A = this chain, B = another copy of it.
Amino acid sequence: MEQLIITCQKNSEEYVDRKLAVYFYGWLVGKLDPEMIDRFHETGVNPLSIYVDEDRKNVRFHLGLLNDEVIEQVRLIFNDENMTTISLESSSQKSFEIIKKESRELTAKELSKRFYVDEAEGWHNVRIVTPMAFKSHGEYRFLPDVRLFLQSLMKKYTYLDEGTEKIDKDLLDELCRHVQISGFRIHSQRYFIHHAYVTGFCGNFILKCSGSQTLKNYLKILLDVGEFTGAGVKTSLGMGAIQLIKKEEKDGKAKG
Contacts and interface: CB of A to CB of B under 8 A. Distances in A.
Contact of A199 (B144, B183, B185): B183
A164 interface: no
Interface string A164-198: 00000000000000000111111110000000000
A143 interface: yes
Interface of A: 143-144, 181-188, 199, 201
17 contacts: A143-B143, A143-B144, A143-B181, A143-B184, A182-B188, A182-B199, A183-B188, A183-B199, A184-B186, A184-B187, A184-B188, A184-B201, A185-B186, A185-B187, A185-B188, A186-B186, A186-B187
Nearest to A181: B143
Given A183-B188, A186-B186, 15 more contacts: A143-B143, A143-B144, A143-B181, A143-B184, A182-B188, A182-B199, A183-B199, A184-B186, A184-B187, A184-B188, A184-B201, A185-B186, A185-B187, A185-B188, A186-B187
**Which 6 residue pairs of A and B lie closest in terms of their CB atoms, listed nearest first?**
A185-B187, A183-B188, A184-B188, A143-B143, A186-B186, A184-B187
A43 to B, nearest CB: 32
Contacts of A188: 182-185
A184 B203 CA distance: 11
A188 B143 CA distance: 13
Nearest to A203: B187
A183 B199 CA distance: 8
A164 to B, nearest CB: 31
A181 B199 CA distance: 11
